[in-house]
């Protein structure tokens, strides 16, 4: 009986010690500057950073973040120099290298037009043939949209130029992340969100995640701890409060 009791106490001790080691560890997250979601110069490093840190704290884990070039960030996590990659899209190829968390946030990429154009939705891409559409060179919108050579797409070197061209009526609509568009408009005093319409449906909805290397010996524990904390803050309303605080909305 005493041997069984000692064995049980030993198991509990080892289990508790493992949890303590995970909780006591300060995880290092890496990513690239990507306003308005996260960035080195943003308040509290941006809304997504706040959400992730809050979720980890619910599981007793403190997480720090550093901003470096994206390829370097991916490599650091792959080789174990850093613990977590923040804001990564899922792909089958990446899934072979990284273990993913539950989705943190949905990125909606779609078309934005001035209300004066008189369009708020479309059924198929062919409906957009009459319009000039501003796109950012090198950016992915959706596979179908990017391959639609029959559309009048006008490329620009960056998204800010497209926003300016839209409000000056030099193009009919632009393809852009809805959150990025709101952010760019908010940073200027010349433009007004009340003048535009976000056309439905979105071209693409992509989820962003945390990811850690599949070679990380604590990978399941760390990901499960984050998922648990994320579920809690979503359930008790903290998640929505953070989004609202930073001017975001959950779709």
Domain 23-105+207-245 and domain 107-205, same fold? Reply is: yes
Residues 6+ apart with CB under 8 A from 196: 112, 113, 114, 115, 166, 181
For the domain spanning 107-205, the CATH number is: 3.40.190.10
Pick the CATH number of 23-105+207-245 from 3.90.850.10, 2.60.40.3080, 3.40.190.10, 1.25.40.90: 3.40.190.10
Structural domain spans, the chain: 23-105+207-245, 107-205
Taking each helix axis from N to C terminus, what angle separates 47-58 and 219-235, rounded to the nearest 10 degrees? 110
Q: What is the pLDDT of residue 158?
A: 83
Could you list the pLDDT tens digit for every one of the 251 residues in the chain?
A: 444 444 544 444 444 444 434 444 789 999 999 999 999 999 999 999 999 999 999 999 999 999 999 999 999 999 999 999 999 999 899 999 999 999 999 999 999 999 999 999 999 999 999 999 999 887 778 989 999 999 999 999 888 899 999 999 999 999 999 999 999 898 887 888 999 999 999 999 999 999 999 999 999 999 999 999 999 999 999 999 999 999 886 65
């Amino acid at each position: 009986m005493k041997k069984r009791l000692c064995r049980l106490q030993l198991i509990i001790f080892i289990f508790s010690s493992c949890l303590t080691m995970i909780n006591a560890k300060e995880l290092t997250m890496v990513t690239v500057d990507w306003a308005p979601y996260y960035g080195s110069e943003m308040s509290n490093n941006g809304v997504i950073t706040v959400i992730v840190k809050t979720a980890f704290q619910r599981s007793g884990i403190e997480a720090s973040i550093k901003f470096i070039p994206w390829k370097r960030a991916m490599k650091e996590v792959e080789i174990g120099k850093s613990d977590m990659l923040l804001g990564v899209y899922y792909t089958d190829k990446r899934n072979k290298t990284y273990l993913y968390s539950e989705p943190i946030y949905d990125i909606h990429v779609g078309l934005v037009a001035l209300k004066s154009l008189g369009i708020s939705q479309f059924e198929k891409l062919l409906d957009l043939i009459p319009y000039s559409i501003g796109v950012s060179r090198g950016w992915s919108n959706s596979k179908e949209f990017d391959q639609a050579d029959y559309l009048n797409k006008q490329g620009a070197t960056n998204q800010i130029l497209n926003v300016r061209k839209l409000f000056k009526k030099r193009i009919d609509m632009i393809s852009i992340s809805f959150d990025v568009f709101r952010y760019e408009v908010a940073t200027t005093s010349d433009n007004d969100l009340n003048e535009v319409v976000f056309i439905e449906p979105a071209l693409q909805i992509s989820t962003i995640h945390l990811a850690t290397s599949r070679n990380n010996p604590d990978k399941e524990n760390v990901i499960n701890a984050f998922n648990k904390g994320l579920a809690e803050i979503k359930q008790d309303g903290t998640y929505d409060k953070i989004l609202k605080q930073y001017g975001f909305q959950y779709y």
